[in-house]
Structure 1
Amino acid sequence: MAIDRRRLVRRHNPVITSAHPTEVFTVGNGDAALTVDLSGLQSFPEVHRLRPDPLRVPRDGLDALPEQRPRAFDRDDFQIPLQTQSGWGWYETRPTRPLELAEAETTHATERGPVPYLDRMGLQRPGDPIAPEFTAGAWFHYNPRRAHLGRLALVRLDHPGPLDPSIIDDALTTLDLWSGRVDADYSVLGHRVQVTTVGDPDADRFAVQVRSSLLAEGWGVAWVFDPQPDDLAPFEHPLEETTSWEARSPQDWIARRTVEATAYAVHVTTTGELREHGPDGVVAATDRPELDVVVALRPGPAAFDRTERSTFTDVCSAAAEWWCRYWENGSAVDLGDSTDERATELERRLVLSQYLLAVNCAGRTPPAETGLTYNSWSGKFHLEMHWWHAAHFALWNRGALLERSLDFYHRSLDAARETARHQGYRGARWPKQTDPSARESPSNIGVFLVWQQPHVIHLLELLHASGRDEAFLRRHYPLVEATATFMADVVAERNDSFTLPPPLIPAQESYLAERETTADPTFELAYWSWALAVANTWRERLGLVEDPRWRRVSEGMRSPTVLDDGTYAAVATPPFLVRKDHPSMLMAYGWLPPTELIDPSIMSATLDSVWEHWDLQSSWGWDYPVMAMTAARLGDLSRAIDGLLMTSPKNVYLNNGHNPQMPGFLSLYLPANGGLLAATAHLVAAHRDGAALPPGWSIVAEGFESVRADSLDRGLAGAP
Structure 2
Amino acid sequence: MRFPLVISCTLLLPCLALGKIDRQRVVSQFNIVRTNLIDNETTPLQVGNGNFAFNVDNTGMQTFLPFNTLSSWAWHNDSLPTNGELPSDYKGVVRETYGRDVYYDIPDPNLKQATQWLISNPNRVNLGRIGLKYKGKTLDKSLIVNSKQELDLWNGIVTSTFRVDGKDVKVVTQGDFDSDAVAFNIDSDLITSGDLQVELDFPYPPIHSTAYKYEVFAGVYDFPLNHTTTLVQDGTDRTSAHIQHELQELQYFVNLRWPKETPFKLSRNEAPGSASVTAHRYTLTSTSKSCPVAFTAHFSPDQRVPSFPAKIQEKNAKAWNKYWNEGGFVDLTASSNPNATELQRRIIKSQYHVRVNSAAKGQSPQESGLMNNGWYGKFHMEMVIWHNAHWAVWSKQKYFDNIFPELYETFLPSSLARAKYMGWEGARWPKMTDPETGVSSPGDTNAQLVWQQPHPIYLAQLAYQASPTRETLQKWDKFLTATADYMASYAGLNATTGKYDIGPPTIGVTENTPANSTRNLAFEIAYWRYGLDTAACWKRKLHQSVPEKWTHVASNLALPPQIDGLYTVYDGLNGSWWNDTKLNSDPRSLIMLQGILPDTPAVDPEVALRTADKVWDIWTDANIRGWGRPVLAINSARIGNPERAIYHLTAYDYWQFDDAGFAIRGGDGGTPPPFMPGNAGFLLAIAYCVAGWQGSDADTPGFPKDGSWTVKHEGFLKSL
Distance 1:156 1:276 in 2: 16
Q: 2:379 aligns with which of 381, 385, 393?
A: 381
Structure 2: gaps spanning 5 or more residues? 1-18, 212-219, 270-277
Residue 42 (structure 2) pairs with residue 25 (structure 1): no
Distance 1:685 1:521 in 2: 30
Residue identity matched to 2:196 = W
Distance 2:124 2:588 in 1: 31
Please list the CA deviations of residues 123-176 of structure 1 after superposition, one character each: whole Å capped at 9, or x if unmatched.
xxxxxxxxx6311111100111101110121222511x4x33332222221111
Structure 2 counterpart of 1:441: 441
Structure 2 counterpart of 1:257: 245
Task: Evaluate the alpha carbon distance shift between residue 665 and residue 121 of structure 1 in structure 2; reply closer, same or farther with a 3 A threshold.
Answer: farther
Deviation at 1:40, TM superposition (A): 1.1
Deviation at 1:252, TM superposition (A): 2.4
Residue identity matched to 1:175 = L
Distance 1:153 1:268 in 2: 14
Residue identity matched to 1:340 = N
Please list the CA deviations of residues 346-385 of structure 1 after superposition, one character each: whole Å capped at 9, or x if unmatched.
1111111111111111102111111111100000110111
Deviation at 1:543, TM superposition (A): 1.6
Structure 2 counterpart of 1:247: 233
Structure 2 counterpart of 1:579: 584
Structure 1 counterpart of 2:12: none
Mapped contact 2:78–2:208 kept (Cα < 8 A)? no
Helix, strand or coil: the match of 1:592? coil
Please list the CA deviations of residues 71-127 of structure 1 after superposition, one character each: whole Å capped at 9, or x if unmatched.
xxxxxxxxxxx10011111101112224134526111111151110111157xxxxx
Matched residues, number? 652
Helix, strand or coil: the match of 1:471? helix
Deviation at 1:322, TM superposition (A): 1.4
Structure 2 counterpart of 1:275: 267
Residue 105 (structure 2) pairs with residue 108 (structure 1): no
Structure 1 counterpart of 2:10: none
Distance 1:258 1:612 in 2: 57
Distance 1:592 1:33 in 2: 33
Residue identity matched to 1:454 = P
Name the larger-Rg structure: 2
Helix, strand or coil: the match of 1:516? helix
Q: 1:88 aligns with which of 57, 62, 73?
A: 73
Structure 1 counterpart of 2:199: 222
Deviation at 1:507, TM superposition (A): 0.7
Q: 2:152 aligns with which of 160, 176, 179?
A: 176
Deviation at 1:646, TM superposition (A): 2.1
Distance 1:581 1:339 in 2: 33
Deviation at 1:216, TM superposition (A): 2.3
Please list the CA deviations of residues 214-273 of structure 1 after superposition, one character each: whole Å capped at 9, or x if unmatched.
212311222221343675449x99782221111253242222212233222211223422
Please list the CA deviations of residues 600-659 of structure 1 after superposition, one character each: whole Å capped at 9, or x if unmatched.
23222222222232255454320000100100111211111111122454x210111112
Residue identity matched to 2:499 = S
Deviation at 1:700, TM superposition (A): 1.1
Distance 1:188 1:582 in 2: 53
Residue 690 (structure 2) pairs with residue 684 (structure 1): yes
Distance 1:232 1:503 in 2: 28
Distance 1:168 1:480 in 2: 56
Q: Pick which of 212-221 and 688-697 moved more.
A: 688-697
Residue identity matched to 1:490 = Y
Residue identity matched to 1:181 = I
Mapped contact 2:155–2:321 kept (Cα < 8 A)? yes
Task: Evaluate the alpha carbon distance shift between residue 668 and residue 582 of structure 1 in structure 2; reply closer, same or farther with a 3 A threshold.
Answer: farther
Mapped contact 2:227–2:247 kept (Cα < 8 A)? yes
Mapped contact 2:37–2:147 kept (Cα < 8 A)? no
Structure 1: gaps spanning 5 or more residues? 47-81, 123-131, 713-720
Mapped contact 2:117–2:208 kept (Cα < 8 A)? no
Distance 1:391 1:503 in 2: 29
Distance 1:101 1:455 in 2: 29
Deviation at 1:535, TM superposition (A): 1.0
Mapped contact 1:15–1:173 kept (Cα < 8 A)? yes
Q: Pick which of 88-97 and 461-470 moved more.
A: 461-470
Q: Pick which of 188-197 and 284-293 moved more.
A: 284-293
Distance 1:408 1:106 in 2: 27
Helix, strand or coil: the match of 1:223? strand
Helix, strand or coil: the match of 2:519? coil
Helix, strand or coil: the match of 2:453? coil
Q: 2:165 aligns with which of 175, 185, 189?
A: 189
Please list the CA deviations of residues 377-410 of structure 1 after superposition, one character each: whole Å capped at 9, or x if unmatched.
0001101111111110001001110111221211
Distance 1:622 1:614 in 2: 14
Residue identity matched to 2:337 = D
Please list the CA deviations of residues 14-57 of structure 1 after superposition, one character each: whole Å capped at 9, or x if unmatched.
111111231521111111111111111111216xxxxxxxxxxx
Please list the CA deviations of residues 288-317 of structure 1 after superposition, one character each: whole Å capped at 9, or x if unmatched.
321212111113xx432xxx3311111111
Residue identity matched to 2:79 = R
Structure 2 counterpart of 1:601: 606
Mapped contact 1:93–1:260 kept (Cα < 8 A)? no
Mapped contact 1:245–1:256 kept (Cα < 8 A)? yes
Structure 1 counterpart of 2:330: 333
Q: CA RMSD in A?
A: 2.2
Q: 2:317 aligns with which of 309, 317, 320?
A: 320
TM, length-normalised to structure 2 = 0.87
Helix, strand or coil: the match of 1:510? coil
What are the residue-to-residue correspondences of 1:132-147 with 2, within 5 Å?
A: 133-147=111-125
Q: Pick which of 554-563 and 583-592 moved more.
A: 554-563
Residue identity matched to 1:34 = F
Distance 2:616 2:30 in 1: 30
Residue 397 (structure 2) pairs with residue 399 (structure 1): yes
Residue identity matched to 2:381 = L
Structure 2 counterpart of 1:50: none
What are the residue-to-residue correspondences of 1:540-551 with 2, within 5 Å?
A: 540-551=540-551
Distance 2:90 2:620 in 1: 38
Structure 1 counterpart of 2:215: none
Distance 1:264 1:372 in 2: 18
Residue 662 (structure 2) pairs with residue 658 (structure 1): yes
Residue identity matched to 1:285 = T
What are the residue-to-residue correspondences of 1:688-703 with 2, within 5 Å?
A: 689=698, 691=701, 693-695=704-706, 696-703=708-715
Structure 2 counterpart of 1:423: 422
Structure 1 counterpart of 2:25: 7
TM, length-normalised to structure 1 = 0.87
Task: Evaluate the alpha carbon distance shift between residue 483 and residue 503 of structure 1 in structure 2; reply closer, same or farther with a 3 A threshold.
Answer: same
Structure 2 counterpart of 1:40: 60
Deviation at 1:582, TM superposition (A): 5.5
What are the residue-to-residue correspondences of 1:661-676 with 2, within 5 Å?
A: 661=665, 665-676=671-682
Mapped contact 1:500–1:519 kept (Cα < 8 A)? yes
Q: 1:208 aligns with which of 177, 180, 184?
A: 184
Structure 2 counterpart of 1:55: none
Task: Evaluate the alpha carbon distance shift between residue 457 and residue 7 of structure 1 in structure 2; reply closer, same or farther with a 3 A threshold.
Answer: same
Distance 1:674 1:488 in 2: 31
Deviation at 1:554, TM superposition (A): 2.6
Mapped contact 1:157–1:283 kept (Cα < 8 A)? no
Distance 2:88 2:585 in 1: 33
Task: Evaluate the alpha carbon distance shift between residue 574 and residue 157 of structure 1 in structure 2; reply closer, same or farther with a 3 A threshold.
Answer: farther
Distance 1:121 1:253 in 2: 48
Helix, strand or coil: the match of 1:186? strand
What are the residue-to-residue correspondences of 1:335-374 with 2, within 5 Å?
A: 335-364=332-361, 365-374=363-372
Task: Evaluate the alpha carbon distance shift between residue 605 and residue 646 of structure 1 in structure 2; reply closer, same or farther with a 3 A threshold.
Answer: farther
